Structure 1
Amino acid sequence: MTTPSRVLAIGAHPDDVDFLCGGTLALYAEGGAKITIAVATRGDIGAPSGTRDEIAHIRRGEAQASADVIGADLIWMGEDDEFLFSDRASRLAMIDVIRHARPDVMFILDEDDYNPDHRAAGTLARDSRVPATVPLIQTRNPALDRAPTTFVMDTYGSHRFEPEGYVDISPVMTVKERMLMQHASQVHWMGSVFGTDVLDPVRAQAGFRGAQAGTHDAEGFRLLRDYPHTGGWELLPRGRRRQVHG
C-alpha cells in the first residue's frame, strides 16, 4: 500500500492539527483520501472571557469549520481542557476513535511537547494504536485489521523536535492558513492577549522547516517505529515528501 485512503490526525485542542499538519492533510485531501480530525479536549479555557460551556461551543463550531475547508470529518472527544489524562476511560475512548476512523496513516502529538494535554494526547494515541486491533477489547466500533502507520507531528515552536522527514506544503500553505483562520476566537485572543497575528508563528515555523527541507514551506515529522511496522515514509503525500534520515 503506497496510497493511503484513510488518514487520522489527533490533536489535544481544536487548532493543534491545523497548526502542525494542516498542510499535509490538505495534500492528502487533494489526492482523494478520507481525512478525519479528532480533538481530545473541548478547548474550553481558550478565551479571556465567557463560561467554559460557551467557549467549548464556539470552539467546536470553529473546529468543524476548519475541517470543512478540506472536507474532513471531525471527532469531538469532549475532555476538559488542561485535564486530559491517560487512564482506562480515556484509552478506551481513544481506541474507539481510531477504530471509527479506520486509518491507514495516523498523525499524533509529540509526547515531549510543552503542554500537558499535548503530551497526554500523544501518549493516549500511541498506546491505543495496537489495542485498536485487539477484538477482545470491546468498544462501539469493531477492531482494526492492522495497526496504522503513525507519524509524530512537530512541536509548537519546533522545541526539542528533530524531524526525520518533511512534507513540502508550499502549494497548500494558503489552505493551511485558511483552516487556522476559522478559529476566530483564537485569532482574537492571540491579538488581544499576546499582541500577535495568529498566523505569524505558523508562517515562521513552516518557513523554518521549509528552509531545512530545501523548499519554501514544510511540515516536519518523525516515523513511530513501534511494533508492528506497517509502513513508512512512502505513505506521506506523494511528490511532496523528503526523508532526511532514519
Structure 2
Amino acid sequence: MNILAIGAHPDDIELQCAGTLALYAAQGHKVFMAIATNGNVGSPHLSRDEIGAVRHKEQIASCALIGAELIWMDFDDEWLFNDRPTRTRFIDAIRQADPDVMIIHGRTDYHPDHRVSGQVAEDARIPASVRLVETSLPHINKVPHLFYMDNPVGLEFEPEAYVDISSVIETKRKMLLSHESQDSWIRAVFGEHTSITDMMEKNAASRGSAAGVAYAEGFREVKTFPRTGSFGLLPGIGM
C-alpha cells in the first residue's frame, strides 16, 4: 500500500504518528510524509529564511530514518488557509502519493494550522480522484481511506483504536530528535523543563496504558462517504 501522512509543520507527524509510519515502512509499504508549512517562525533567534531552511533539512533527515518520501508544500508557518491555492497544492500532494491510507490532523486540535491542514486534506481527498479537477498532476484512480491522528499531548482526542508502537519507539524518538531546532524552541516557549521527546513519550505511554502495551498511538477513523477501508488498514491494530 501507499501511506500518506499530512502534517501542518515539520515534527507534527513525528509527534503523533511516526511509530505507525515506521511499522508501515517495516512491512514494506511505501510511506509519504507531506508537510504543509515550512516552520519559518519556529526560532527564538534565527531569521524566517534561516529557520525555514533548518527545518527543511531536519525533515529530510527524519524521513530518511524510515525511507519515507518527503512532500514539502512550503506554505508560511501560522498562515495556512483553506483557499484555492492551498487546496490545489494538497490535491497534488495526494495525487503524488496516490495513497490507500491518509493520516491527517483532526478537528479538535489546538493549533489553527493543524485544523486547517486536516480540513483541507479531508476536502481534497475526493477531488484528487476527479479527472476534470485539473492541477499539475493527473487524477488518481482511488479514494484513500482517512484516519485522524492524535492531538498533541492527547488533549481533546478520544482514540477509537490504538497501534502498538512499542517495538519502534526508539525509531520514533530518533525521528523526533531530528528536529533539534524544535526542542530548543519548545524549551524557549514552554520552559526548560519541557522537551519535545518528553511530550511524545508521556502521550505514547498514556495511550499504551489504555491499550495494554508499553507505547501506542491513537487514531480515529474519518467516517465519511465513500467508505473505502477500516481500522484493519492500520498495522498491528489493537482496539
| TM exceeding 0.5 | yes
Cα distance, 1:242 vs. partner?
A: 1.2
Tell me what 2:233 maps to. Answer: 235
Tell me what 2:92 maps to. Answer: 96
Tell me what 1:201 maps to. Answer: 199
Counterpart amino acid of residue 147 in structure 1: V
- TM-score of the aligned structures, taking structure 2 as reference length: 0.97
- TM-score of the aligned structures, taking structure 1 as reference length: 0.95
The answer to whether the 8 Å contact 2:44/2:188 transfers is no
Determine if the alignment matches structure 1 residue 72 to structure 2 residue 68: yes
Tell me what 1:22 maps to. Answer: 18
Runs of 4+ in structure 1 deviating by more than 3 angstroms, as ranges, are: none
Cα distance, 1:111 vs. partner?
A: 1.7
* Ranges in structure 2 where 5+ consecutive residues have no aligned partner: none
Cα distance, 1:192 vs. partner?
A: 4.1
| Whole-angstrom CA distance in 2 between matches of 1:146 and 1:42 | 29
SS in 2 for 1:45: coil
Determine if the alignment matches structure 1 residue 137 to structure 2 residue 136: no
Tell me what 1:174 maps to. Answer: 170
Tell me what 2:155 maps to. Answer: 159
- 1:35-58 deviations in whole A, cap 9, x for unaligned? 100000010011101110111000
Tell me what 1:128 maps to. Answer: 124
Within a 5 Å distance, the mapping from 1:2-17 to structure 2 comes to 5-17=1-13
SS in 2 for 1:163: coil
| Whole-angstrom CA distance in 1 between matches of 2:87 and 2:209 | 37
| Whole-angstrom CA distance in 1 between matches of 2:123 and 2:173 | 31
| Whole-angstrom CA distance in 2 between matches of 1:133 and 1:236 | 22
Tell me what 2:146 maps to. Answer: 150
Cα distance, 1:188 vs. partner?
A: 2.2
| Whole-angstrom CA distance in 1 between matches of 2:196 and 2:97 | 29
SS in 2 for 1:63: helix
Instruction: Figure out how many residues of one structure are paired with residues of the other and give that number.
Output: 237
Cα distance, 1:141 vs. partner?
A: 1.4
SS in 1 for 2:102: strand
Tell me what 2:212 maps to. Answer: 214
Tell me what 1:105 maps to. Answer: 101
SS in 2 for 1:26: helix
Taking only the aligned residue pairs, the percentage that are identical comes to: 48
| Whole-angstrom CA distance in 1 between matches of 2:87 and 2:180 | 31
The answer to whether the 8 Å contact 2:15/2:200 transfers is yes
| Whole-angstrom CA distance in 2 between matches of 1:232 and 1:13 | 27
Within a 5 Å distance, the mapping from 1:180-191 to structure 2 comes to 180-191=176-187
| Whole-angstrom CA distance in 2 between matches of 1:157 and 1:191 | 16
SS in 1 for 2:139: coil
| Whole-angstrom CA distance in 1 between matches of 2:183 and 2:205 | 20
Counterpart amino acid of residue 12 in structure 1: A
Tell me what 1:37 maps to. Answer: 33
